[in-house]
Structures are given as structure tokens and as C-alpha cells.
Amino acid sequence: MRGVLAIVAITLIATACNDQWDDHVGVGGKTLQGTTLDAVRANPELSVFYEMLVKTEYDAVLNGDYELTVLAPDNAALAEYKSKSINEMKTIIRNHISFLTYDAKQLAAQASITMINGKRLSTSLLKLDAANSDVLCNNGVLHVVKTAVMPAQNIDEYLQTIAKGTYIQLDALYAQTRKVMDEDKSVQIGVNDEGKAVYDTVWTTRNHFFEVMPVANEDSLYTFVVLDNENFKILSAKYAKYMQQNTVSETDSLATDELIRDLVFHAEKTTALSGVQVDFSHATTVKEYKASNGLVRVMNGVDIKLKDNKIKPILIEAESFLSTQDATVVSTVSAVMQAAVGML
């Protein structure tokens, strides 16, 4: 008897699950069992999005084994984009797919979600089609949206759009870059005839400056201050006085590098990532760009105090120094240091 009851219970649960599945995966009143690509293809209001997926080869992603959330803009939302270049289409596609699954309630509870391009998409920008949300598929969930959202540039991406020769600071910064494949953001879209993975390759830059000021990082918010050329020259010359090297060129290079590092901040802070306090009391913002990971401010009138700030006090243990050096040398070094600090 217990066995019969168990079978009945299992049958009822299975039937209920199937009913819920049918309720959720209906597209245009039809029950759909398949991938998110099947769901897109089955909806005539997503024909433009489907064509873009095929042209960019991202149809393979939606037909794959990933667990996805697909925010598919309807035909009206994509009207101005359907004749764009393949690269521009990829930019749109990559900003509407996430590798995590979210139903409509979860989306509403999130301020933003991370898309496959690595950027965070603000959910406040989305206008879900309530009648075509929560379409459950074998490899994720599909939501039809009435808006197409272009990704905002991060600080690094925006700075790279500024023409060479505009700012001394940026020319010096990007002279140190090299282009490499971003393995985390490059998405596999298939395999070639030899069975090797084929990627939609995303390129990124590598620069030693970005190891200490990661303005391409989408996980944190930063403020990047770009000085106008006159302001940058003044502060660079101020730095150079106390960073003398063997040649003028080496001195200028060191001063420039140090100044660049002192102009990047966590959001709303005036102490740079380098630990240097920057004086904005007489500064003016010429223009500002809101990036996906913070702000870029072009400014003039910025100042940086050197004494006890950029140049820290140097302490010498006299006893240990005297054990190996002549006291006259110590006196000379101390005098030079005191004179230098007194000039700051």
C-alpha cells in the first residue's frame, strides 16, 4: 500500500512540475522545450535579435551548455541597430547575456548584474515585457526586453578614445601599453575543423601602471584625474627637483611616472591609491565622464604638497650607521637631507 501511495505521490509531483514548466516556457502560447536559442527563434518579435545572433555567431553560445540569462531586445528596440557592423552587433549582444540565471523577481532585486562582456548592467535600464518574461529553457532563462542598452565604457576604454597629443599625461601613460587577449572575457563560439576552440576574441591592454591603478577593473569604482597640460608640466617640474637621476631624460621620466600614479583615487576620496594626498581646494573641473567603473575628471589648478606627503621623512639609525660609516659622512648626509626638506 505504501508503495502505491509513493508512486501516486511521485506521479502528482511530476505532473505539477510539468504544469509549471509549461506555464513558464510558453512563447506565443506554445510550449517550448529547448535552448534559449530555440526560445528566441520561436518568438517573431525577436527576429532581429535572432539574425544578429547568427551574424555574430553568438547563436552557438545560446545553443550551448552554458546556464544563461538572455535579455533579448524586441524588434522595435533593435530597429536602429540591425544594420550596424558585426563588431557593433557583438557589442550589443554581449551586453544582453549573462552567465548566471535570474528570473524576473531576482532581476528586480538586483541593482545590477554582470554580463558576459564583464560589465555590470544596471537593471533600472531594463524594461521587461511582462508577458514574455521567465521563459525557462534547457540552458537558462529568456526575458524579452523593450530596450537595447549599450555598455558604458570603463575608465581605461574611455581614456583610449582621447586623441594622442591631447594630454601629456595620457600620452605618457599609454606609451607603456601592449595589446593582449583577455581570456576571461573572450567567449568560445565553436570549434574549427581541427577540433580546436574558436573564440570571439576580446582584446585588452597590459600596462605596468594598471597593476597599481586598475582602472580597467569593473569590480570597483575609481576617479581618474587628467590634468590639463599646463598643470601637469608645473607638477612634473615640481617633482623633478627632488627626483634627480643621471640624465634630464631619466629625471623627467621618473617624475612623470610618479605623478601619473598620484592622480587615481577610490571614488569620493582625495588620497590617491599611492597614498599621496592631493589638494583640490583651488581646482576646477573642465569636463567629466561617467564611466562604468567610476569617473574621469579633466582638471586644472590641482596641487600636491611634497613635504611629509609625497616625500616622507627619512629616519636613519645613527648607531648602526656609525658602526660602518665615518661620523663626518653622517653629518654631511643629514645636512643635505635637512636642506632638501627645508626647500619643499
CATH value at residue 168: 2.30.180
Q: pTM of the prediction?
A: 0.64
Q: Answer yes or no: do 258 and 296 share one domain.
A: yes
Asked if residue 217 has pLDDT above 70, the reply is yes
Q: Could you give the number of structural domains in the chain?
A: 3
| 61 occurs within a structural domain | yes
Mean pLDDT of the chain: 84
Hey, which bits of the chain come out as E strands? 68-73, 97-98, 112-114, 120-122, 135-137, 140-145, 178-181, 187-191, 197-200, 203-206, 222-227, 264-266, 284-291, 294-300
Q: Answer yes or no: do 82 and 138 share one domain.
A: yes
Q: Answer yes or no: do 171 and 279 share one domain.
A: yes
| 308 occurs within a structural domain | no
Q: Answer yes or no: do 128 and 31 share one domain.
A: yes
Q: Answer yes or no: do 293 and 233 share one domain.
A: yes
Q: Answer yes or no: do 54 and 99 share one domain.
A: yes
Report d(CA 176, CA 170) in Å as an integer: 10
User: For residue 294, how many other CB atoms are within 10 A of its CB?
Assistant: 23
Q: Answer yes or no: do 95 and 121 share one domain.
A: yes
| Helix 248-261 × helix 229-240 angle, to 10° | 120
- On whether the CB atoms of residues 173 and 210 are closer than 8 A, the answer is no
For residue 331, the model assigns a pLDDT of 42
Asked if residue 203 has pLDDT above 70, the reply is yes
In terms of pLDDT, which residue wins out, 192 or 280?
A: 280
Q: How confident is the model at residue 312 (pLDDT cuts 50, 70, 90)?
A: confident
The CATH number assigned to the domain holding 33 equals 2.30.180.10
| 34 occurs within a structural domain | yes
Q: Answer yes or no: do 324 and 287 share one domain.
A: no
Residue 263's domain comprises 155-180+206-300
Length of the chain: 344
- On whether the CB atoms of residues 302 and 280 are closer than 8 A, the answer is yes
Q: Answer yes or no: do 326 and 281 share one domain.
A: no
Asked if residue 235 has pLDDT above 60, the reply is yes
- On whether the CB atoms of residues 283 and 300 are closer than 8 A, the answer is yes
| 28 occurs within a structural domain | yes
The cell for 140 is 537558462
- On whether the CB atoms of residues 87 and 200 are closer than 8 A, the answer is no
Q: Answer yes or no: do 46 and 117 share one domain.
A: yes
In terms of pLDDT, which residue wins out, 322 or 197?
A: 197
Q: Answer yes or no: do 255 and 171 share one domain.
A: yes
In terms of pLDDT, which residue wins out, 194 or 101?
A: 101
- Furthest-apart CA atoms within the chain: distance in Å: 104
| 81 occurs within a structural domain | yes
Q: Region 138-154: what's the mean pLDDT?
A: 94
Q: Answer yes or no: do 120 and 244 share one domain.
A: no
